[in-house]
Amino acid sequence: MRGGRSVAAVTDADFDLAAGECLALVGESGCGKSVLASALLGLLPGNAETEGTALLASGPGPHGGDRHGGGRPHAGAGERPALDLLAADERTLARTVRGRRIGLVPQSPAAHLTPVRTVRAHLEETVRALTATPRRERRAVAEAAAERAAFPAEHLDRYPHELSGGLAQRAATALALIGDAPLLLADEPTTGLDRELVDRTADELRRHADGGKALLLITHDLAAARRVADRVAVMYAGRIVEIAPAARFFGEPGPRHPYARGLLDALPEREFTPVPGLPPELSDLPEGCAFAPRCARASAACAVRPEFLAGAACHHPLGATRA
């Protein structure tokens, strides 16, 4: 709710994410990417409402098939049934999901750090809470997590207010890696980092996925997404409008949705041409295609909301013959 009005912050978010896979969720600021992550962890405001299902499998995620709304997680012999995150109560989320089954690198890390505790204290307490590490070994495990996240050892005894934005981001990444959770949600994990640290952080997150874990990378940094993603999901105005293999998305034949192509064309190494216009307010979305007012391919057909077909929600996808 906003100002007494209902706002559909995310709609039609339908995708699978398998163990060992990185899905990069990209799009302009305000399109709903972080809201989606918050919904999965039960961290939305109290007046927010959700519907649908978000199933967290107890074992490895599904492989093969249609990745957009394809197979659903299911329990095998001897496994617990999949947990519906949207239906789970706060006790379940707090005790068995957050940190243990789903790790989070938050978009605003400073807000998630306790101001009266050092980074080292945060790390060691997280090791104690999430792992069976003996007390005498917790310090070493905490320092190893900091090293994985490129957090300098000489800053471990600093408090959050003594950290730059980039250091706070790296501290949050180290905390998220400790639990070795089967699913990691990384919400803009490279904000405030220089290119070398962006690449190092992205590579460490990729190693997490390569270890058999799932990674949802929420980012506006298309270079980082290209470096580590297996698939790319593009969100616009609260809706996923394209899902594609990363090799095809960043290579040939490229994105099918005009908005996705516009994101790539805005990169300095490409045409460096911004997407014209501004995204619509989520509280005032048009009935048809939300991107139509900014799209050179729009036609009368775009007055109707497009279905998600062949990997894109568009009446006139790129690579198709225009009607």
d(CA 246, CA 248): 5
Query: What is the per-residue pLDDT for 320?
Result: 61
Summarize pLDDT for 22-38 with one digit per residue, the tens.
999 999 988 999 999 99
CA proximity to 100, closest of 144, 54, 134, 131: 131
pLDDT band at 65, cuts 50/70/90? Answer: very low
Average pLDDT, the chain: 90
Q: What structural domains does the chain harbor?
A: 1-101+181-323 (3.40.50.300)
Query: What is the per-residue pLDDT for 76?
Result: 45
Query: What is the per-residue pLDDT for 3?
Result: 57
d(CA 151, CA 142): 11
Residue 96 to residues 54, 75, 83, 85, 261, Cα–Cα distance (Å):
16, 17, 11, 11, 40
